[in-house]
């Protein structure tokens, strides 16, 4: 299938960027593991405290950042008290251009969060790579007003380079988890183009969030019980998951 010399050359070029992307991601994951040790510990403590009080963790993001809310929702090996904040208008599947406009509009997050009973003792994770758009900043402010602990998952470098005097998400959060993504997110140069490819924020951000929640689950299990979903294809999943759904359905509108 790939006997033509031009095809073989193309594969060589592709492999080069494949390897470069993996190298860049591995490097950033290693940096996050080291640089964020203290901040991730603080995030774990905040979430464990919320769980002990039978409170929830809400995860908010717009655009591609919403994927981290879905990543943590009803997930095999995931915690049942994690609630995604999802609104079609700020997601990408029914209008990506419109969603970009909505995430920059004042009042959008207030309307979205009116559906969720975020209150004192809860944790609100606000995911925003650029960290300067109106909706995530509004979500962080609202979370603080409601008495929740606000965790920002963002790129400090990106938000600092684009803020130009504006408030950043990191200015409003109790805990900041820096994904280390560069301004613009994309990491790799492409020969013949002034543009870059290979975004970092989703892979690194999901890894940070999953690592924190895994540690939370371990802490809770060590104390007696952790409300962990089991994959639907595993023995005993129906009974385990049905109990968790019954416990959290009133607080999670997406169950």
Q: How large is the average pLDDT for residues 217-231?
A: 95
Residue 14's pLDDT band, with cuts at 50, 70 and 90, is low
Joined tokens for residue 156: 């400090």
pLDDT in tens, 56-75: 999 999 888 899 999 999 99
Band of pLDDT at residue 13, cut at 50, 70 and 90: low
CB 44 within 8 A of CB 213: no
Percent of the chain past pLDDT 70, that is, above it, reads 93
CATH number of 5-227: 3.40.50.10490
- Tell which residue, 207, 172, 156, has the closest CA to residue 32: 207
For the chain, give every domain's residue range: 5-227
Residue 226, Ramachandran bin (φ over 0: left; ψ between -120 and 50: alpha; else beta)? beta
pLDDT of residue 4: 39
Whether 93 has a pLDDT exceeding 80, the answer reads: yes
pLDDT of residue 128: 94
Give the pLDDT of residue 123: 98
């Amino acid at each position: 299938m790939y006997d033509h010399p031009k095809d073989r050359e193309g594969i060589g070029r592709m492999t080069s960027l494949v390897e470069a992307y993996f190298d860049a991601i591995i490097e950033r994951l290693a940096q996050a593991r080291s640089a964020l040790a203290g901040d991730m510990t603080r995030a774990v403590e905040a979430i464990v405290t919320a769980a002990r009080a039978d409170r929830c963790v809400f995860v908010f993001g717009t655009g591609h950042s919403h994927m981290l809310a879905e990543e943590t929702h009803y997930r095999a090996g995931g915690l049942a008290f994690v609630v995604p904040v999802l609104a079609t208008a700020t997601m990408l599947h029914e209008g990506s251009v419109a969603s970009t406009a909505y995430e920059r509009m004042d009042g959008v997050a207030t309307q979205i969060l009116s559906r969720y009973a975020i209150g004192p003792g809860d944790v609100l994770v606000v995911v925003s790579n650029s960290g300067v758009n109106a909706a995530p900043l509004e979500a962080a402010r609202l979370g603080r007003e409601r008495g929740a602990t606000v965790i920002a998952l963002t790129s400090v470098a990106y938000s600092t380079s684009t803020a130009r005097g504006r408030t950043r998400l990191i200015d409003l959060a109790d805990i900041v988890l820096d994904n280390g993504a560069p301004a613009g997110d994309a990491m790799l140069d492409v020969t013949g183009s002034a543009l870059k490819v290979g975004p970092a924020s989703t892979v690194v951000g999901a890894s940070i969030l999953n690592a924190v929640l895994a540690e939370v689950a371990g802490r809770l299990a060590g104390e007696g019980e952790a409300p962990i979903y089991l994959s639907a294809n595993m023995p005993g999943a129906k009974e385990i998951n049905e109990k968790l759904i019954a416990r959290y359905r009133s607080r999670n509108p997406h169950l």
